Structure 1
Amino acid sequence: MSTGRELEQMAILEKRVTQLIASYHEVRESLDQARYIIHNLQAVIDAKDEEIKNFQNRDNISKIVNTIAAEPANSTELKLKINEYIREIDKCIAYLRD
C-alpha cells in the first residue's frame, strides 16, 4: 500500500517528466527551424556562387575580346557573339542535368 509520501513523490516525478517532455518538444522545434534556415541559406549560397561564376566568365570574355579585337566596333560584336555561345552552352548543360 502506498503512503502519502510516495504519492507525493510520484506526483513530483510525473511533473518533472512532463516538463522534460515539453522542453524536448521545444528544442526539437528549434532544431527543425534551424535546419530549415540552414537549407534556405545553403540554397542562397549556391545561387550566389553561380552568379559569381557567371560574372567571372563575363570578365574573362571581356578580357579575351579586348585582347583579340583592336577596334571597339569589332570588340562589341565579338563580345555579343561569345555571350550568345555561352548562353547556348549553359542551356545544353542545364538540359544534360535534367
Structure 2
Amino acid sequence: MSQDLLKSNLSSLERKLSLLLDKHKTIKEELAMLREENGELRSILKQKEEQVSSFQNQIKISKIVSEIDSDGKDASELKSKIDDYIKEIDKCILHLSK
C-alpha cells in the first residue's frame, strides 16, 4: 500500500474515532441526566403513595365517624374529637412533607 492510502485510512479512522468518542460522551451525559430524573420521579412517587395512604386512613376514620349514632350527645363529642384529631394529623403530615 502506498503512503497516501495509509495516511488517508488513518485519517479516516481518527475522524471516526473522534465521532464515536463524542457520541459516547453525549450518551453518558444523557444517561446521567435520565438517572437523576428517575431518582426525582421515584421520590415524587413515594410522596404520592404516602399521601394516598394518608387519604385512605382519613376515609377509614370518616367511615367510622359516620357509622356512629349521631343521636346521642356522646356520639357528637366523639365525632368532634375525631375531627380534631384528623385536622391535627393533617397539619403534622403537611409539616413533615415540607
Q: Say whether the 8 Å CA contact 1:69–1:75 is kept in structure 2.
A: no
Q: Which runs of 5+ in 1 are unaligned?
A: 92-98
**Aligned amino acid, residue 38 of structure 1:** N
CA distance in 2 between counterparts of 1:21 and 1:63 reads 62
Q: Which runs of 5+ in 2 are unaligned?
A: 94-98
- 1:25 and 2:28 equivalent? no
**Aligned amino acid, residue 13 of structure 1:** L
* Aligned CA distance change for structure 1 residues 66 and 75 (closer, same or farther; 3 Å): farther
**Aligned amino acid, residue 16 of structure 1:** K
* Cα shift readout 1:31-71 (whole Å, capped 9, x = no counterpart): 11111111101111110000010001001001011112424
CA distance in 2 between counterparts of 1:36 and 1:78 reads 44
Moved over 2 A (4+): 71-76, 80-84
CA distance in 1 between counterparts of 2:69 and 2:17 reads 77
> What is the aligned partner in structure 2 of residue 59 from structure 1?
59
Query: Percent of counterpart pairs with the same letter?
Result: 22
SS of the residue aligned with 2:47?
Answer: helix
TM-score, normalization by structure 1: 0.74
RMSD over equivalenced CA pairs, Å: 2.5
